[in-house]
């Protein structure tokens, strides 16, 4: 399964990166910009093939990609004054190749005394070369190439093929096209997912599906049963059912349902409870659901990574923000604590075997979870409503899902900088964390993978648009400054800012990856 998950991980990231860089590449070519290389991945090249002016590469580290465009560097020329180079001439005596390796054949070797390989406003390109003590100015073809080896060459960069020579609008399109393609990919994938989804019938409380091993299955609920009462409250629609389940204060409930006109009642139905703010649930991996005993069925998130809680730990007490310990005897006691306490630091005292230990960690607040669209406590009966295919629902789904995911990204970013929340840079995930998410998603099937890919594509598109130098958003900010001031930012200053921020982002990447690995080891 690891190999399969790894392949899916590489494919998911590869498609997202390919689409992003293809956006940059297409609009760059359309604007007439010379693209030296189109690369998927970073680091050492695994495969390279030249087609025309561009080298197409697949590199060994699947964490990004790039389009190397002419005019992005301070100086695209690969030669300098007083350098010894070789040259080859065409039939008209113009330089067609600049030889940077003295092992390659050449027509002349000399010392560079002066050159212009940019040719602003279509000025002629030239190299002044001293050969045998005589300096001669040679005309250079605008499609001349540098030769490094027999197989490695690169086109020179005249002004008309340079990124910086293009209009503001053309440069804007080239930069914005990467994130835009991520958004288009997400919409297309959500559209495909939408055709596999049915519109839930929320006007009824009829059951369409009972999950295997769920509380509903344990009491004998079946397809077509109609839930009528929960804890004495009448249930007429699926929204009524959801509202009652959301407001539960106990893992036990009473339930009435009708089957073929006959009413049945079940009391003391034990449902699964997921305390999302604290990272614990009463449902074990084998389907066992604890109620009268405060046994941890499973631990996840901070409870697992920071608190080191494990399945089968028996909770004795819970202390919030250094207050009075709450004695715990059952899962209802646990729910009571987290209905009252919605944020802060936890000390959970628990019994593991014969040893009493403490788990100390910060809960994710109810407010933060609400901003991300999640309840603080999730109760599950294990049933789903009837549903039908609806073309309007299918066609609107991509836009609804896109809006929801976009809002979630911005909410998450806002929480990272919210001092009132116990969230920060350490909670971010990088490639290792994404691999873990891919691993859990693959078990849910092809449609789930498509939905996750769309979600990840939106994330990458939006993060690239953040106004941070070295990202697409930062480059758009520089274009905005140029539009206002009517003159481009100093190129050396811009490159310095981008390079500094690149190394800072690289440091952040290493930090996040380190935390991901620690979480993976602890998990």
Domain boundary residue, one of 110, 143, 161: 161
How far apart (Å, rounded) are the C-alpha atoms in residues 275 and 300? Answer: 10
What is the C-alpha radius of gyration for the chain, rounded to an integer number of angstroms? 31
pLDDT at 435: 57
173 falls within a domain: no
403 falls within a domain: yes
Two tokens at 322? Answer: 């250094």
pLDDT at 438: 66
| 241 and 324 both lie in a single domain | yes
CB atoms inside a 10 Å sphere around CB 484 = 8
pLDDT at 202: 92
- In terms of DSSP bridges, do strands 84-89 and 54-69 run parallel, antiparallel, or are they unpaired? unpaired
120 falls within a domain: yes
pLDDT at 75: 64
Kindly write down the DSSP assignment for every residue of 29-40, as one continuous string: HHTT--EEEEEE
Domain boundary residue, one of 339, 373, 388: 388
| 459 and 398 both lie in a single domain | yes
How far apart (Å, rounded) are the C-alpha atoms in residues 165 and 171? Answer: 9
Stretches where the chain sits below pLDDT 50 are: none
pLDDT at 427: 58
Two tokens at 429? Answer: 């995930």
3 state DSSP class of 202: coil
Give the residue numbers spanning the domain of 334.
Answer: 203-388
For helices 472-485 and 168-194, give the axis angle rounded to 10 degrees. Answer: 140
SS (H, E, C) 242-300: HHHHHCCCCCEEEEEEEECCEEEEEEEEECEEEECCCCEECECCCCCECCCCCECCEEC
Question: ∠317-319-324 over CA atoms, to 5°?
Answer: 100
Nearest to residue 127, comparing CAs of 76, 91, 161, 77?
A: 77
Q: Report yes or no: 309 and 303 within 8 Å, Cβ to Cβ.
A: yes
Which residues touch 279 (CB under 8 Å, ≥6 apart)? 299, 300, 301, 302, 303, 304, 307, 309, 363, 364
| 378 and 412 both lie in a single domain | no
CATH of the domain at 298: 2.30.42.10
Nearest to residue 233, comparing CAs of 217, 214, 255?
A: 255
Domain boundary residue, one of 355, 371, 388: 388
End-to-end CA distance of the chain: 17
Provide the domain count of the chain.
3
Q: Report yes or no: 252 and 218 within 8 Å, Cβ to Cβ.
A: no
How far apart (Å, rounded) are the C-alpha atoms in residues 414 and 410? Answer: 6
pLDDT at 420: 62
How far apart (Å, rounded) are the C-alpha atoms in residues 138 and 125? Answer: 9
Q: Report yes or no: 441 and 448 within 8 Å, Cβ to Cβ.
A: yes
Widest distance between CA atoms in the chain: 109
In which element (H, E) is residue 281 found?
strand 280-281
- In terms of DSSP bridges, do strands 95-99 and 134-147 run parallel, antiparallel, or are they unpaired? parallel
Q: How far is CA 295 from its chain centroid?
A: 35
pTM over 0.85: no
**Using one digit for the tens of pLDDT, what is the confidence trace for 273-311?**
999 999 999 999 999 999 999 999 999 888 988 899 999
| 380 and 396 both lie in a single domain | no
Two tokens at 470? Answer: 């070295």
Under DSSP, the state recorded for 121 is G
| 320 and 361 both lie in a single domain | yes
| 351 and 238 both lie in a single domain | yes
């Amino acid at each position: 399964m690891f190999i399969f998950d790894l392949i899916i991980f590489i494919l998911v990231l590869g498609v997202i990166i390919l689409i992003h860089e293809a956006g940059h590449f297409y609009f760059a070519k359309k604007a007439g910009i010379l693209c030296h290389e189109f690369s998927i991945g970073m680091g050492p090249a695994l495969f390279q093939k030249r087609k025309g002016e561009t080298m197409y590469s697949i590199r060994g580290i699947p964490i990004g990609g790039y389009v190397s465009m002419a005019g992005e560097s301070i100086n695209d020329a690969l030669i300098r004054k007083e350098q010894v180079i070789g040259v080859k001439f065409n039939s008209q005596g113009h330089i067609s190749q600049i030889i940077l390796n003295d092992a390659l054949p050449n027509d002349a070797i000399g010392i560079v005394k002066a050159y212009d390989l940019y040719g602003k406003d279509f000025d002629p390109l030239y190299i002044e070369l001293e050969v045998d003590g005589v300096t001669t100015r040679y005309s250079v073809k605008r499609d001349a190439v540098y030769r490094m080896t027999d197989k490695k060459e690169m086109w020179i960069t005249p002004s008309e093929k340079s990124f910086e020579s293009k209009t503001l609008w053309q440069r804007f399109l080239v930069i914005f096209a990467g994130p835009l393609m991520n958004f288009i990919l997400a919409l297309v994938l959500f559209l495909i997912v939408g055709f596999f989804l049915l519109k839930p019938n929320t006007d009824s409380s009829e059951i369409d599906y009972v999950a295997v091993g769920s509380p509903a299955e344990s009491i004998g609920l079946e397809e077509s049963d109609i839930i009528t009462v929960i804890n004495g409250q009448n249930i007429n629609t699926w929204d009524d059912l959801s509202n009652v389940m959301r407001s539960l204060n106990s893992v036990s409930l009473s339930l009435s349902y009708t089957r073929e006109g006959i009413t049945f009642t079940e009391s003391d139905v034990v449902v699964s409870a997921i305390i999302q703010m604290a990272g614990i649930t009463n449902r074990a991996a084998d389907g066992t659901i604890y109620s009268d005993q405060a046994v941890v069925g499973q631990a996840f998130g901070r409870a697992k990574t920071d608190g080191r809680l494990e399945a089968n730990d028996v909770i004795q007490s819970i202390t919030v923000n250094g207050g009075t310990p709450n004695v715990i005897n059952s899962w209802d006691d646990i729910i009571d604590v987290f209905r009252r306490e919605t944020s802060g630091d936890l000390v959970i005292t628990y019994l593991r075997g014969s040893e009493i230990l403490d788990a100390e960690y910060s809960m994710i607040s109810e407010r933060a979870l609400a901003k991300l669209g999640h309840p603080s406590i999730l109760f599950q009966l294990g049933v789903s409503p009837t549903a039908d295919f609806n073309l309007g629902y299918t066609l609107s789904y991509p836009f609804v899902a896109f809006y929801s995911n976009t809002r979630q990204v911005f909410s998450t970013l806002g929480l990272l900088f919210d001092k009132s929340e116990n969230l920060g840079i350490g909670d971010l995930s990088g490639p290792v964390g994404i691999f873990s998410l891919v691993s859990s998603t693959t078990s849910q099937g092809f449609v789930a993978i498509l939905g996750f890919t769309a979600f990840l594509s939106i994330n990458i598109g939006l993060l690239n648009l953040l106004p941070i130098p070295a990202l697409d958003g930062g480059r758009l900010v520089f274009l905005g400054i140029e539009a206002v001031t009517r003159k481009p930012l100093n190129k050396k200053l811009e490159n310095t800012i981008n390079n500094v921020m690149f190394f800072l982002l690289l440091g952040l990447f290493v930090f996040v990856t380190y935390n991901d690995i620690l979480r993976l080891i602890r998990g």
